[in-house]
Structure 1
Amino acid sequence: MTNAIPIAIYVDADACPVKDEVYRVAGRHGLHVFVVANSFLNLPREPWIERVTVPGSFDAADDWIAERVGRGAIVVTADIPLADRCIKAGAEVIGPTGKPFTEASIGMALATRDMMEDLRAMGTVQGGPKPFSQKDRSVFLQALDLAIQRLKRAGFGA
């Protein structure tokens, strides 16, 4: 019997394209998943998948996640300010394309986000990110599995 802090996965779910992949990997590792959204989402009926519907402001889901994560948590989000908050709390953070957000990379990600927001506001840049691909899905699966293995090696449990 282990006294290790359990690994939990928090999914910023409103626009997350890899929820099914998270469920599959979490099920294989026996991990609890919190699926956090501003509106009701249909989820698989598994005891280890917990739906969290947060009413209120646009950032309510982000706030719910950021207030609960810490070491031993994995957060799946494309929201860079949320990623920053979660990294500061000690969580592992992965974007849906498999790109990990780290202490070393989050500053540049925030700066790029802000610059792109300004360019879009001026009309210089239009559109959003490139379409989500099968390669992104594959890279995400690898990144999630690596994050879980890294936490297990660090003494966190299932």
Structure 2
Amino acid sequence: MSAPTILVDADACPVKEEIYRVAERYKAQVRVVSNSAFRVPVSERVQRVVVSEGFDAADDWIAEHADERSVVVTADILLAERCLKAGATVLAHNGKPFDAASIGSAVATRAIMEDLRAGMDGMGGGPPPFNKADRSNFLQALDRVLVKLARR
């Protein structure tokens, strides 16, 4: 049985260091996918994947490589939807899982929020700030997912 692979939508990921630590514990492979190069740990398990500057190039790479042995870490709802269809497990940076039951409403909410933001001419915020509880929730969720994949 092959080790699971964690595919990281890395450009805005606040939990990369946590992913590296957990991956090492579970002997999982990590693919850090981005449009620009940045430092990753020197490890046989961690590979940096720099894709073109094209719009959605990182998302396309991740979606093409996602499968039932993958854990995708992203905040991008549309990417999450694509990866779920490929059989991957998908986690947001705060540990919230995307699944078949939740993705439809997440996509709909995203569309509504996009329309609302468009009507506000740049006023208003975004998601709440990332905090310690989010980091802890992510670590617990990633641990649970990797334990589950190890049993398959």
| TM-score, normalised with respect to structure 2 | 0.96
Measure how far apart 1:5 and its partner are. Answer: 3.3
Correspondences of 1:48-59 after superposition (within 5 Å): 48-59=45-56
Q: Is the 8 A contact 1:8 1:74 kept in 2?
A: yes
Distance 1:16 1:56 in 2: 17
Q: 1:38 aligns with which of 29, 35, 47?
A: 35
Over aligned residue pairs, what C-alpha RMSD do you find?
1.1
Distance 2:2 2:100 in 1: 22
Distance 1:69 1:17 in 2: 21
Gaps of 5+ in 2: none
Q: 1:74 aligns with which of 71, 74, 77?
A: 71
- TM-superposition CA deviations, 1:102-154 (whole Å, max 9, x none): 0000001101111000000011862110000000000000000011111112x
What secondary structure sits across from 2:100 in the alignment?
coil
Distance 2:55 2:20 in 1: 25
| TM-score, normalised with respect to structure 1 | 0.93
- TM-superposition CA deviations, 1:50-105 (whole Å, max 9, x none): 00000131200000000011111000000000000000000000000000000000
Q: What stretches of structure 1 move > 2 A for 4+ residues in a row?
A: none
Q: Is the 8 A contact 2:29 2:46 kept in 1?
A: yes
Distance 2:97 2:78 in 1: 14
Distance 2:142 2:132 in 1: 15
Q: 1:6 aligns with which of 3, 7, 17?
A: 3
Equivalent AA in structure 2 for residue 105 of structure 1: S
Task: Work out the number of aligned pairs and report it.
Answer: 151
- Is 1:99 the counterpart of 2:96 in the alignment? yes
Gaps of 5+ in 1: none
What secondary structure sits across from 1:74 in the alignment?
strand
Structure with the greater relative contact order (CA < 8 A, sep ≥ 6): 1 or 2? 1
- TM-superposition CA deviations, 1:14-62 (whole Å, max 9, x none): 0000000000000011111000000011111111100000013120000
